[in-house]
Amino acid sequence: MSRRTPHFAEPLHVGRPNIGDRERLLERFIDLLDRRWLTNDGPYLQEFEQRLAEYLGVRHCVAVCNATIGLELAIRALDMTGEVIVPSFTFPATAHALAWLGVTPVFADVDPTTHTLDPAAVERLVTPRTTGILGVHVWGRSCDVAGLDDVAERHGLKVLYDAAHALGCTQRGQMLGNFGDAEVFSFHATKFVNAAEGGAITTNDDDLAARLRRMRAFGLERGEVCDVGTNAKMNELSAAMGLTSLESVDDFIARNRINLAAYERALAGIPGVRLLSPPPFEQSNCQYIVVEVEARDAGQTRDQLVAKLHEENVLAKKYFSPGCHRMEPYRAAHEATGRRLPQTDRLCDRLLQLPTGTAVDESMIASIGTILGNLAIGRRRAA
């Protein structure tokens, strides 16, 4: 059977890493090899933490080996136990970090516009066992931090934010990273600023920062074991990558904005295909191109569109489908509660993400628009 040639000869990935200044990166690698200092609070780690804290305007930044371990560290350092309320509409790492520590993730529904936790839905789930709220700034859109703080204050709960998507994004003009008791960023290869693997916990609480630093390195402080700890350290190679990548943060954001504008043009007028815009009056890193599909108007379901895009080598994603509450480790316990998460289920069925970043240019985006337009309009004509 002959296979049709895809539109793109090479696959276009969502999350193709941005590389930044290669020369600077290689200089740093040579330098750290010459110095023979590869991990354990090395100079690049310290510089990365300091530069990140300055960028975010936050007092403390504790770099870690990845965001999942960063969440675990923060959950434990904040003494979250029992039940913690969390969105189901997130990468499974958010829920896993709780479950891994024996804390029950209680899934709350999200706001249909922001895709982040709905404070009213959170409040309905508070029980005597609840110790905290774990919000996710999904796509870099800020949670309703004032609404969640209000619920937390009235019920004596800790607030942690999963800010894996949110570097360089603001809430009322202030950088995310400054809210709740702590926030956790990801510097995974697929994030627009990356350290190959990496993460960072930010907080304005001095005692919490000291505890996180101890816990990150076996509970050690000045050579003494003062706490139960683990090994969550970021090594020097990752820190050098993170630092170099962070130096290009403005360029990466500028490129993401240009790509977003190109998608706005390319997708305009395609029936049933709506591009999500970042919130007005806020700074956004624009690192995810998120499209909502209305199957009735597009003449195709989201899944059909994704399958056809893949045939053209556009490897669109279906983050975060299914929601965590429908995933094997959590399904039975969630079903037993009889609760429904209609907004989450709706988003899980309708959203897709398209390639952006420095590996994609405006002409590729125009072609993706043509492919999508032909699929949606062609189908309607056929109907």
Residues binding ligand T4K (CB under 6 A): 13, 15-17, 66-68, 90-91, 93-94, 136, 162, 164-165, 186, 188-190, 199, 315, 317, 319
Angle CA(328)–CA(334)–CA(338) in degrees, nearest 5?
140
Q: Are 71 and 96 in contact (CB under 8 A)?
A: no
Q: How far is Cα 383 from Cα 379, in angstroms, rounded to an integer?
A: 6
In whole angstroms, how close is the CB of 40 to ligand T4K at the nearest point?
A: 21
Angle CA(236)–CA(242)–CA(248) in degrees, nearest 5?
145
Name the residue among 171, 134, 124 with its Cα closest to residue 340.
124
Closer residue to ligand T4K in complex, CB, 125/184: 184
In whole angstroms, how close is the CB of 355 to ligand T4K at the nearest point?
A: 9
- Answer left, alpha or beta for residue 328, where phi above 0 means left and psi between -120 and 50 means alpha: alpha
Closer residue to ligand T4K in complex, CB, 199/272: 199
Closer residue to ligand T4K in complex, CB, 158/299: 158
Closer residue to ligand T4K in complex, CB, 17/42: 17
DSSP label at residue 140: G
DSSP label at residue 102: T
In whole angstroms, how close is the CB of 212 to ligand T4K at the nearest point?
A: 16
Closer residue to ligand T4K in complex, CB, 93/121: 93
In whole angstroms, how close is the CB of 265 to ligand T4K at the nearest point?
A: 25
Q: How far is Cα 303 from Cα 309, in angstroms, rounded to an integer?
A: 10
Q: How far is Cα 93 from Cα 191, in angstroms, rounded to an integer?
A: 15
DSSP label at residue 278: P
In whole angstroms, how close is the CB of 71 to ligand T4K at the nearest point?
A: 7
Closer residue to ligand T4K in complex, CB, 14/376: 14
In whole angstroms, how close is the CB of 98 to ligand T4K at the nearest point?
A: 12
